[in-house]
A and B are shown apart, each in its own frame.
Chain A
Amino acid sequence: MPTSWLLALGGGALIGAASALLFLTHGRIAGISGVLGGLLPPAAPDRAWRLAFLVGLVAAGVAGAVVAPSAIGASVRPLLAVVAAGLLVGFGTGLGSGCTSGHGVCGLSRGSPRSLAAVMTFMATGAATAFVAGVVS
């Protein structure tokens, strides 16, 4: 098995374990777009744990940049495309009530039909976009 597959599997297991811990301790779904969305106006009443979780997430990035700089890859697209991507990701996850973590990890594990449909949809449009963007650029 190639190293990148093992790292992917180990990292995935860590993501699953962290999500399970959030459910055990706070009873919440570890969906990043949902956790973040609860902090934006009109904000949810339970802002404290959301903020603490996201501070931890961002802190991992701060530490990662020092310990293993190559883990955070450079963009393969021009900055304008990155901004467009961010806008679409924000709008789409807000409208579709979730992203790769909420629908992909937590929803699929729970056998949610909504999450399964969402994952198949974003995988399909993601693959199509990656293909088209690759041909164009």
Chain B
Amino acid sequence: MSLVMAGVVGALFGAGLLVSGMTQPAKVIGFLDVAGGWDPSLAFVMGGAVVVYGLAWRLVRARRREPWFDAAFHLPTRRDLDARLLGGAAIFGVGWGLGGLCPGPGLVAAGGGATTGLAFVAAMLVGLLAQRRFARG
């Protein structure tokens, strides 16, 4: 049951990405290219998601001691800023602005069989693995 739920939630997330326009690289790049012919529509994706998640997340935290299928909630606790966080975010942004895809939309596009999505996801996995090797030194 827990795995079925995880799968359904993943599909919902993917449907949201498809509806929102995040799986269209041209649209994403049009949003990021503020200095070009700016398309502001994708700002509403983050806006809608943050409002819904922000409210629902607080409601869950206030009403429950643990999630349905686990003994405890898993939340990041760090609040400090460091070079890894900012450097990683900077590198990610360059990739996002170059290809117009971030991890979720990349996986959805790969599922749709788009050559772009498949190539992007394959490269992303190599990048993630390389980072782990780099981190271990």
Which A residues are closer than 8 A to B by beta carbons? 2, 4-5, 7-30, 32-33, 36-37, 40-42, 48-50, 52-65, 68-69, 71-77, 79, 81-97, 99-101, 103-110, 112-114, 117-119, 121-131, 133-134
CA distance A119 to B49 in the complex (A): 14
Residues of A close to B53: CB separation below 8 A: 15-17, 19-20, 105-106, 109
Closest 6 CB pairs of A and B: A90-B127, A96-B88, A61-B111, A60-B14, A11-B20, A56-B10
Residues of A close to B43: CB separation below 8 A: 8
Q: Determine which residue in A56, A84, A89, A109 has the highest number of CB atoms from chain B within 10 A of its CB, and name it.
A: A89
Additional A-B contact list (7), CB under 8 Å, known A18-B13, A23-B60, A89-B102: A13-B51, A26-B5, A56-B14, A60-B12, A60-B14, A88-B91, A130-B32
Chain B contact residues: helix, strand, loop or mixed? helix
Chain A contact residues: helix, strand, loop or mixed? helix
Contacts A52-B7, A134-B29 given; indicate if A86 touches B94 (C-beta within 8 A).
no
A10 in contact with B19 (CB, 8 Å): yes
